[in-house]
Each structure stands twice: as C-alpha cells, then as structure tokens.
Amino acid sequence: MENDPDVDGGGVGDQGVDGAGDPVLRADDVRKSYGEVTALSGADLAVGRGEVFGLIGPNGAGKTTLVRALTGTTAVEGTVRVLGTAPDAVDPERVGLLPQSFDPPGRLTARELVAYYAGLYDDARDVEAVLEAVGLASDADAWYETLSGGQRRRACVATALVNDPDVLFLDEPTTGIDPAGRRDIHRVIREAAAAGVTVFLTSHAMGEVERLADRVGLIREGSIVAVGSPESLIAAHGGEPTLTLRLEGAAERDVVESGVKAVRSGTPYDARRAGTTTARGGGAAGMAGAAGAAGTTDAAGAATIEITGVPLEGIGAVVDAVTDAGVGVESASWSEPSLEDVYLELTGEAYRPAGPESGTEASTGATPEPETKAGGDSERPESTAAEGSR
C-alpha cells in the first residue's frame, strides 16, 4: 500500500469508536475468491467515527466484495470488525446499507416504503423528517413505481437513513439523480458525518467523492493500493496543472519555449516541474522537437497547445511571451489535476463515466465480480440494512 507522508496506509489517527481510538470499520488482510477468481487479495482498511470514506476503483477490483465483507453478507478470510465486533454480530439498528440495486414493491407510496423500514426498528427516526431531508416530501404519497429514477433513489436513501444508523454504507447513492437532488443527498451525508455517523461511500462519480470524502481508498486487483485525503492523493499522484492555449496562428517552437522559460525564471515554482507540452491539431508545427515543447496546427493554421506544470500565477507570463512574439491567443484555460487523474495514474485505465457524475460504472475490461445479492427476507422488501447481521 502507498506510504507517502500524506497518503497513509489506511489508518485513522485519533478517530475511533466512542473516543476509544478504535476504528469503526476495520479490515485486516481480507481475502475472498469465487472459484478461480480472486476478488480480494489482502485488503486492509480502517475508518474512523464520523468519517466519510470513499472507495474507488475499476470494475472487478473488489469494491462490492469488500462492502459485503464489512456488512457481513459474505464470508471472507482475514479479520473484519464493525463497531468493534464481527459484522454478523452487530445490532442491525446501528447499520444502514443502500445497495446499488434496490427494487422494493412498486405499489407502495414513498411514505409507506420508508415507514415500513422504520417499523423494523425500535428507535427509528421520524418518517416525515427523513422524507424532507432527502427532498421527497412533496412526492411522499406517489406510488414508488410512478416515481422517476432520481426520486426512487431518494426514497432508497431514505430507507437507509430511517433507522438512524451509526454506520452508513452507500453504493452509488446519487445514480440517476438530478443536480438539485444530488445536493440534497450530499447535504444529508455531510450532516450525518457531522453528527458522528461513519459513511462508507462507493461511487464512480469522482467529483462527488472528491467533494464529500475525508479520505479516499483506491482498490486495484483486490488490494487497497493508496489511501489518503483527496488533496494528498492528488498531490502525490495527480500530476501537474495544465495550461491550454488556443492560438490564432501557427506557433514556432521558440515562441512556446520563451513562455515556458518565463515560467521557469519569473515565478516561484519548481523549474524542473514546468515545461512539458503536448499539442492537438492537424499538421506538424515548427516547434515540434523543441526541448519541453511540442505543437501542431489545424487546417486553419491555428495551434492548440497544452503546457503542464504551469501554476496559476504563471499563466500571464506564458501568454505575454506568446503575444509579445506576435502570435495572438484566442483562448486560454487552466485546470488543476483531480481525483480522475489519480484514478488514471494508479489503475492505468482511463476514467470513462457514462455521463457527468452519473455514477454509472466505466467499462474497464476488468473481470467483473460475481453478481450475488445480499441475503434477504422473503416476507419483506429487500432490506437496506446489513442482512447478514439480522
């Protein structure tokens, strides 16, 4: 596992259960195979009280199996502890689980569905308050089968919250939800964590994880290979900021080189980390082959260049150098590295969501994990709490 100074090996520092310093969730050398397919190959994890922990990784990397291990719905080798005990011994009222696939009876209203789950517990939250929290109060009397995909997901989130759990597992919680709905769910997650609830979030919406998670773990081939705050992971593995310039004409290599040199000499920035450029366009540009510079021109004679390692305060120096050389800048954009870049660096696979923060799994070509459902009770809808602990 990654051991960078700010990218830890899964520990939680002072966070723990009831102030005792013990993690709320712990997995030590957890292994699981389905026949000849290895789903987990020694996963280690520790998550503290009130922490939002995001788990990311390619399809088939072991995310679902690890969640099943933590919720006691699949047997594994190694040690798993939830709230200090074995997952199947935990009071189910203390655990909430929202699976990615959840299909309750359609002929229940949203209110009836949430009330049903509230009735399973001795000390559930007020149903109306939960519906209001997830933004479903105005549609509470609509049949579940008539709700939109986003409204259904809100109802499902409500069923995972109504028992007022100490630990909340959320698998793709905002799949199919519109931006306003996502904000509601994000607010609910933040409020839960602020109240001391430990939130274990799995999602393919990298922006969502980056905004919500206190720490992120990346799982690859059944092992967690890096853990840290989003900021520390990005600093360690995300690469450099990128400045993209759309020029009004072809750029000679000395023009771009002069801009890069301006950054090197004119800003308080590590010169060794500035200067790598790539370019997009049609034919070859005159700057091709220059040290630290490359470029192309399109059919109209314009060039689009990308220069990595340019800090925000260095944009002006690069643009000035280019314009001083007589080449107009049509547009300039600057972007910082993100969790998507970390994903690409550590998995070697491109992050390809189906839509903006859709939560839909990217197609990575990895071996899919065997599809099995958490154990359910045939006399009631599939529960969102850890069935193995009932």
Please, which pLDDT band fits residue 225 given cuts at 50, 70 and 90?
A: very high
Burial class (CB in 10 A: 0-12, 13-18, 19+), 259: buried
Average pLDDT, the chain: 78
Structure confidence at residue 311 (pLDDT) = 84
- Answer yes or no: do 193 and 269 share one domain: no
**Structural tokens at position 192:** 């839960």
**Residue 110 domain flag:** yes
Structure confidence at residue 350 (pLDDT) = 59
- Answer yes or no: do 75 and 196 share one domain: yes
Tell me what percent of the residues of the chain surpass a pLDDT of 90: 50
- Answer yes or no: do 187 and 275 share one domain: no
Q: What is the mean pLDDT of residues 4-20?
A: 44
Residue 193 has pLDDT above 90, yes or no: yes
- Answer yes or no: do 164 and 295 share one domain: no
Tell me what percent of the residues of the chain surpass a pLDDT of 70: 70
Of the given ranges (1-5, 71-75, 247-251), which has the lowest mean pLDDT?
A: 1-5
- Answer yes or no: do 172 and 186 share one domain: yes
Structure confidence at residue 166 (pLDDT) = 97
Task: Give 15's contacts (C-beta < 8 A, 6+ positions apart).
Answer: 23, 47, 48, 49, 50, 51
Please, which pLDDT band fits residue 255 given cuts at 50, 70 and 90?
A: low
Query: What is the tens place of the pLDDT at every residue in 55-77?
Result: 999 988 999 999 999 999 999 99
Q: Is 167 or 149 the better-scoring residue by pLDDT? A: 167
Of the given ranges (6-10, 329-333, 374-378), which has the lowest mean pLDDT?
A: 374-378
Structure confidence at residue 307 (pLDDT) = 81
Q: What is the mean pLDDT of residues 209-232?
A: 96
**Residue 275 domain flag:** yes
Residue 89 has pLDDT above 90, yes or no: yes
Please, which pLDDT band fits residue 353 given cuts at 50, 70 and 90?
A: low
The count of domains in the chain is: 2
Q: How many CB atoms lie within 10 A of CB 42?
A: 16
Residue 134 has pLDDT above 60, yes or no: yes
- Answer yes or no: do 232 and 261 share one domain: no
- Answer yes or no: do 322 and 377 share one domain: no
**Residue 1 domain flag:** no
- Answer yes or no: do 115 and 204 share one domain: yes
Query: What is the tens place of the pLDDT at every residue in 267-306?
Result: 433 333 334 444 443 322 333 333 333 444 454 556 778 8
Structure confidence at residue 368 (pLDDT) = 42
Domain end position, chosen among 316, 335, 354: 335
Q: What is the mean pLDDT of residues 341-369?
A: 56
Structure confidence at residue 257 (pLDDT) = 61
Q: What is the mean pLDDT of residues 171-194?
A: 90
Structure confidence at residue 365 (pLDDT) = 36
Residue 78 has pLDDT above 90, yes or no: yes
- Answer yes or no: do 78 and 156 share one domain: yes
Three-state DSSP string of the chain: CCCCCCCCCCCCCCCCCCCCCCCCEEEEEEEEEECCEEEEEEEEEEECCCCEEEEECCCCCCHHHHHHHHCCCCCCEEEEEECCECHHHCCHHHEEEECCCCCCCCCCEHHHHHHHHHCCCCCCCCHHHHHHHCCCHHHCCCEHHHCCHHHHHHHHHHHHHCCCCCEEEEECCCCCCCHHHHHHHHHHHHHHHHCCCEEEEECCCHHHHHHHCCEEEEEECCEEEEEECHHHHHHHHCCCCEEEEEECCCCCHHHHHHHHHHHHHHCCCCHHHCCCEEEECCEECCCCCCCCCCCEECCCCCEEEEEECCCHHHHHHHHHHHHHCCCCEEEEEEECCCHHHHHHHHHCCCCCCCCCCCCCCCCCCCCCCCCCCCCCCCCCCCCCCCHHHC
- Answer yes or no: do 282 and 312 share one domain: yes
**Residue 67 domain flag:** yes
Tell me if the pTM is above 0.85: no
Please, which pLDDT band fits residue 245 given cuts at 50, 70 and 90?
A: confident
- Answer yes or no: do 142 and 257 share one domain: no
Of the given ranges (10-19, 212-221, 321-330), which has the lowest mean pLDDT?
A: 10-19
Of the given ranges (9-18, 212-221, 359-368), which has the lowest mean pLDDT?
A: 359-368
**Residue 73 domain flag:** yes
**Residue 345 domain flag:** no
- Answer yes or no: do 182 and 70 share one domain: yes
**Residue 299 domain flag:** yes
Please, which pLDDT band fits residue 152 given cuts at 50, 70 and 90?
A: very high
Domain end position, chosen among 335, 354, 380: 335
Of the given ranges (77-81, 339-343, 360-364), which has the lowest mean pLDDT?
A: 360-364
CA distance 193 to 7: 22
Which CATH number fits the domain that encloses residue 100? 3.40.50.300
Query: What is the tens place of the pLDDT at every residue in 317-335?
Result: 888 877 877 778 888 899 8
**Residue 179 domain flag:** yes
Q: What is the domain extent for residue 246?
A: 242-335
